[in-house]
Amino acid sequence: MRKRPPRVIVTKIGFDGHDRGSRVIAACLRDAGMEVIYTPPWQEIPTVVKLAMEEDADVIGISSLATDHLIVPRLMKALREAGLQDIQVIVGGIVPAEDEQQLLQAGVARVFHPGAALEEIVKEVRQLAQKRHERKEVQA
Protein backbone atom coordinates (compact mmCIF):
# COMPACT_ATOMS: atom_id res chain seq x y z
CA MET A 1 0.00 0.00 0.00
CA ARG A 2 1.30 3.42 -0.93
CA LYS A 3 2.07 5.47 2.13
CA ARG A 4 0.22 8.74 2.33
CA PRO A 5 0.87 11.65 4.68
CA PRO A 6 -1.07 11.67 7.96
CA ARG A 7 -4.64 12.81 7.42
CA VAL A 8 -6.01 14.95 10.24
CA ILE A 9 -9.38 16.51 10.96
CA VAL A 10 -9.09 19.72 12.97
CA THR A 11 -12.46 20.69 14.38
CA LYS A 12 -14.52 22.05 17.24
CA ILE A 13 -17.66 20.46 18.68
CA GLY A 14 -20.16 22.06 21.04
CA PHE A 15 -20.97 25.76 21.17
CA ASP A 16 -17.78 27.72 21.47
CA GLY A 17 -16.55 29.68 18.49
CA HIS A 18 -13.05 30.73 19.54
CA ASP A 19 -11.06 29.23 16.69
CA ARG A 20 -7.60 30.79 16.89
CA GLY A 21 -6.14 27.58 18.25
CA SER A 22 -7.77 25.33 15.68
CA ARG A 23 -6.73 27.59 12.82
CA VAL A 24 -3.12 27.85 14.00
CA ILE A 25 -2.90 24.07 14.51
CA ALA A 26 -4.48 23.37 11.12
CA ALA A 27 -2.07 25.72 9.35
CA CYS A 28 0.90 24.29 11.21
CA LEU A 29 0.03 20.63 10.46
CA ARG A 30 -0.58 21.57 6.83
CA ASP A 31 2.81 23.29 6.67
CA ALA A 32 4.34 20.13 8.16
CA GLY A 33 3.11 18.25 5.07
CA MET A 34 0.00 16.60 6.47
CA GLU A 35 -3.40 16.41 4.81
CA VAL A 36 -5.58 18.62 6.98
CA ILE A 37 -9.35 18.72 6.89
CA TYR A 38 -10.34 21.87 8.73
CA THR A 39 -13.90 22.60 9.76
CA PRO A 40 -15.46 25.71 11.24
CA PRO A 41 -16.59 25.56 14.87
CA TRP A 42 -19.77 23.97 16.27
CA GLN A 43 -19.75 20.69 14.42
CA GLU A 44 -22.29 18.13 15.53
CA ILE A 45 -20.79 14.84 16.71
CA PRO A 46 -22.45 12.72 13.96
CA THR A 47 -21.05 15.14 11.37
CA VAL A 48 -17.51 14.65 12.68
CA VAL A 49 -17.93 10.85 12.70
CA LYS A 50 -19.24 10.89 9.13
CA LEU A 51 -16.40 13.15 8.00
CA ALA A 52 -13.82 10.90 9.67
CA MET A 53 -15.27 7.89 7.90
CA GLU A 54 -15.51 9.51 4.48
CA GLU A 55 -12.06 11.05 4.67
CA ASP A 56 -10.39 7.99 6.24
CA ALA A 57 -8.87 10.29 8.87
CA ASP A 58 -5.99 9.03 10.98
CA VAL A 59 -6.33 11.62 13.71
CA ILE A 60 -9.11 13.91 14.92
CA GLY A 61 -7.99 17.03 16.73
CA ILE A 62 -10.62 18.69 18.90
CA SER A 63 -9.99 22.24 20.03
CA SER A 64 -11.87 23.22 23.19
CA LEU A 65 -11.54 26.51 25.03
CA ALA A 66 -14.87 26.87 26.74
CA THR A 67 -15.80 23.51 28.30
CA ASP A 68 -16.81 21.81 25.05
CA HIS A 69 -14.36 19.06 26.03
CA LEU A 70 -17.14 17.85 28.34
CA ILE A 71 -18.88 16.24 25.35
CA VAL A 72 -15.74 14.59 23.93
CA PRO A 73 -16.72 11.30 25.69
CA ARG A 74 -19.88 11.40 23.53
CA LEU A 75 -17.65 11.65 20.44
CA MET A 76 -15.53 8.70 21.60
CA LYS A 77 -18.66 6.60 22.07
CA ALA A 78 -19.98 7.59 18.65
CA LEU A 79 -16.66 6.65 17.00
CA ARG A 80 -16.69 3.24 18.71
CA GLU A 81 -20.28 2.65 17.64
CA ALA A 82 -19.31 3.47 14.06
CA GLY A 83 -16.41 0.98 14.27
CA LEU A 84 -13.86 3.78 14.05
CA GLN A 85 -12.08 3.12 17.35
CA ASP A 86 -8.71 2.99 15.55
CA ILE A 87 -8.93 6.73 14.78
CA GLN A 88 -6.78 8.61 17.26
CA VAL A 89 -8.37 11.58 19.02
CA ILE A 90 -6.42 14.42 20.56
CA VAL A 91 -7.82 17.40 22.46
CA GLY A 92 -6.16 20.77 22.77
CA GLY A 93 -7.09 23.85 24.75
CA ILE A 94 -8.33 24.58 28.24
CA VAL A 95 -8.90 21.25 29.91
CA PRO A 96 -8.73 21.09 33.72
CA ALA A 97 -6.48 18.36 35.14
CA GLU A 98 -9.42 16.39 36.61
CA ASP A 99 -11.22 16.40 33.30
CA GLU A 100 -8.07 15.34 31.45
CA GLN A 101 -8.08 12.04 33.35
CA GLN A 102 -11.69 11.46 32.35
CA LEU A 103 -10.91 12.17 28.70
CA LEU A 104 -7.95 9.78 28.71
CA GLN A 105 -10.14 7.10 30.31
CA ALA A 106 -12.72 7.70 27.58
CA GLY A 107 -10.05 6.82 25.00
CA VAL A 108 -8.55 10.18 24.06
CA ALA A 109 -4.90 9.65 23.04
CA ARG A 110 -3.47 12.91 24.31
CA VAL A 111 -4.48 16.29 25.74
CA PHE A 112 -2.45 19.38 24.87
CA HIS A 113 -2.60 22.40 27.17
CA PRO A 114 -1.96 26.08 26.44
CA GLY A 115 1.73 26.66 25.85
CA ALA A 116 2.33 23.36 24.02
CA ALA A 117 4.92 23.85 21.27
CA LEU A 118 3.72 23.37 17.69
CA GLU A 119 6.70 21.09 17.06
CA GLU A 120 5.62 18.74 19.84
CA ILE A 121 2.08 18.61 18.46
CA VAL A 122 3.35 17.80 14.95
CA LYS A 123 5.51 15.00 16.34
CA GLU A 124 2.65 13.50 18.34
CA VAL A 125 0.23 13.61 15.40
CA ARG A 126 2.77 11.84 13.17
CA GLN A 127 3.27 9.12 15.76
CA LEU A 128 -0.47 8.67 16.28
CA ALA A 129 -1.08 8.45 12.53
CA GLN A 130 1.71 5.87 12.29
CA LYS A 131 0.14 3.90 15.15
CA ARG A 132 -3.20 3.90 13.38
CA HIS A 133 -1.66 2.66 10.11
CA GLU A 134 0.05 -0.18 11.98
CA ARG A 135 -3.23 -1.17 13.64
CA LYS A 136 -5.02 -1.09 10.31
CA GLU A 137 -2.35 -3.30 8.74
CA VAL A 138 -2.64 -5.79 11.59
CA GLN A 139 -6.41 -5.82 11.15
CA ALA A 140 -6.01 -6.28 7.37
Name the site residues for another protein (rule: CB under 8 A): 14-20, 23-24, 26-28, 30, 36, 38, 40-42, 66-68, 70-71, 74, 94, 96-99, 113-115, 117-119
The nearest distance, CB 1 to another protein, in angstroms, is 28
Residue among 19 and 58 whose Cβ is closer to another protein? 19
Q: In what order do the strands lie in the sheet with 7-11?
A: 35-38, 7-11, 59-64, 88-93, 110-112
**Smallest gap from residue 71 Cβ to another protein (A):** 5
Instruction: Report the residue number, 67 or 130, with the smaller CB distance to another protein.
Output: 67
CA distance 107 to 76: 7
| Rounded-to-integer distance, Cα 21 and Cα 8, Å | 15
Nearer to another protein, 98 or 137 (CB): 98
3-class state of residue 119 by DSSP = helix
Residue 86 beta carbon to another protein: minimum distance, rounded to whole angstroms: 25
The crossing angle, in degrees rounded to 10, of helices 72-81 and 45-55 is 50
Amino acid making up residue 91? V
For another protein, the closer of residues 33 and 40 by Cβ is 40
| 9 in Cβ contact with 48 (< 8 Å) | yes
